[in-house]
Amino acid sequence: MYEYATGLIRVLDKKILDQTDFDRMLGAKNAEQAFKVLNDTDYGDNLLNLKPEDFEKALERDNKDLRKLFGKIIESKLLLKFLFLKNDFLELKYYLKIKFGKIDTNKKSKVKKSLAEPVLLKLEKLNKITPRKIDEICDSELYKARQGLARKMRDKFLQEICKKDLDLNFDLEQIKLQARNYAYGSPIILEYFFKKVDAGRKIRIIMNAKLNNIAQEDLEKHL
């Protein structure tokens, strides 16, 4: 299972930003030059008509492309759900904070009823709903949902990393290490997926720093 997906991912993996790309972004004189580095990476197709300050839109476009691609090449709907579950819960947090008046915004947010219901039931029992409580309950539900999906798939690799997922942020280096023992399968897919997540995190840090004129030496501490 996942033979086709694994083969394609091994090709795509070569296009992910590497340390050389991040060093170029770090060494750029300004945000515009740092943003241009992305033209030579797998983000290139998603930069059309965007300015450096719009880099978040590029990340959003890339994430949508990744979700669409995985929807085509990954046979297991459960694995697909597992991969993007945290994104769905981040959207849920945003939705709930709007619903309970913790965020003042005109932007609308929709989430699946099945995702929102368990959290809403727990929140409605509280005397006082705070942003922190929303985050805590959503994180608890995410943790349980990930474990449940791993059990349903009977995937030992996923079950093992879920045991260590106490802060809801998987250890990329540990996943890379374990993935070396597999010729194909979910470990290869997860390694690629979380490399993309990590690349997005670093781009966000660098671009925000460049836009706010933060010194390179201060920036490097966060990477």
Q: How many angstroms separate the CA atoms of 95 and 166, rounded?
A: 24
Tell me, what DSSP letter sits at residue 170?
-
Q: Is 85 exposed, middle or buried (0-12, 13-18, 19+ CB in 10 A)?
A: middle
Contact 89, 138 (CB under 8 A): yes
pLDDT tens-digit series, residues 164-213: 776 667 788 888 888 899 888 999 999 999 999 999 999 999 999 999 98
Q: Which residue has the tokens 């297991």?
A: 76
Predicted pLDDT of residue 167: 65
Sign of CA dihedral 91, 114, 189, 176: positive
In whole angstroms, how far apart are CA 40 and each of 16, 46, 112, 212, 221?
Answer: 10, 11, 36, 24, 25
Q: How many angstroms separate the CA atoms of 89 and 129, rounded?
A: 17
pLDDT tens-digit series, residues 37-70: 999 899 999 999 999 999 999 999 999 999 999 9
Predicted pLDDT of residue 151: 95
- Report helix, strand or coil for 48: coil
Structure tokens at 106: 């005109």
Predicted pLDDT of residue 166: 62
pLDDT tens-digit series, residues 2-18: 899 999 999 999 999 99
- Report helix, strand or coil for 121: helix
The angle subtended at Cα 67 by Cα 165 and Cα 23, nearest 5°, is 70
User: pLDDT band for position 101 (50/70/90)?
Assistant: confident
Half-sphere exposure for 24 (CA within 13 Å, toward CB): 15
Contact 191, 157 (CB under 8 A): no
In whole angstroms, how far apart are CA 127 and each of 50, 74, 95, 122, 123?
Answer: 45, 43, 20, 11, 9
pLDDT tens-digit series, residues 126-157: 999 999 999 999 999 999 999 999 999 999 99
